[in-house]
Amino acid sequence: MPGILLGDVFPDFEADTTIGRIKFHDFLGNSWGILFSHPKDFTPVCTTELACAASLSDSFAKRGVKMIALSVDSVEDHHGWSKDIMDFNSQASGPLPFPIIADHKRELATKLGMLDPDEIDGDGIPLTARCVFVVGPDKRLKLSILYPATTGRNFDELLRVIDSLQLTAQKKVATPVDWKPGDKVMVLPNISDADAAVLFPQGVTTKEVPSGKKYMRYTQL
């Protein structure tokens, strides 16, 4: 993302939201956070995304993740749109379980590199793309994904990625392709076999490869 790289401290912005004015770092507290942007209120793909996010809010909360959305419209529009979102969502009830940031001047979207140059509104101004930022308790950027405005996200994948981020923040492991919680993980290449034996007393297995190098090491946590 322009201006924000993995490991950078995420900007501590202030913004008006559906729960009032917030300061982002104060909103997060000691939690993980996920900030996801949307092109515009009262649009079809955005409505399906926020409805899905609402239905998964308990799953994010169990992982200690605070959710917050962003769209370019006003707080008043956000409140009206939230009713449509929750009506569309058959798996949740009550108010929208996370706030939406109002960014009608595109100031925050511009600062965070969220604009989609191929999607223009009636005034000729670019809309926000479908951007995802995951921020750790240390307020540093842990993950960023940028989808074009025309492509909806997969929130199950976002949960899977957060599971991986939280695991690898605590353990000296990496998660392989298509990993899910409970699957085997990979021992980091910079860990010696002797250290791996201490760190992973449950055992380490090595897959033989034609090169003969012993880097494909797995363990079960």
pLDDT of residue 156: 94
pLDDT band at 1 (very low <50, low <70, confident <90, very high): very low
* 80: phi then psi, degrees, rounded to nearest 5: -65, -40
Going along the chain, which residue ranges are E strands?
14-17, 20-23, 32-37, 65-71, 100-102, 115-120, 126-128, 130-135, 141-147, 173-174, 185-187, 204-206, 217-219
pLDDT at residue 210 greater than cutoff 70: yes
pLDDT of residue 191: 96
pLDDT tens per residue across span 35-46: 999 888 999 999
Fold held by 171-219: Antioxidant, Horf6; Chain A, domain 2 (3.30.1020)
Q: Where are the domains of the chain?
A: 14-154, 171-219
pLDDT tens per residue across span 75-126: 999 999 999 999 997 766 789 999 999 998 888 888 888 877 776 676 667 7
Is pLDDT larger for residue 137 or for residue 124?
137
Asked if 188 and 168 touch (Cβ cutoff 8 Å), the reply is: no
Is 46 an active-site residue?
A: yes
Question: One of 138, 156, 193, 195 is an active-site residue; which one?
Answer: 138
Encoded tokens for 98 = 């996370």
pLDDT of residue 165: 98
Question: One of 46, 73, 116, 131 is an active-site residue; which one?
Answer: 46
193: left (phi over 0), alpha (psi -120 to 50) or beta: alpha
* DSSP classification of residue 11: P
Is 12 an active-site residue?
A: no
**Burial of 156 from C-beta contacts in 10 A (0-12 / 13-18 / 19+):** exposed
127 vs 117: CA distance, rounded Å = 7
> For the domain bounded by 14-154, which CATH number is listed?
3.40.30.10
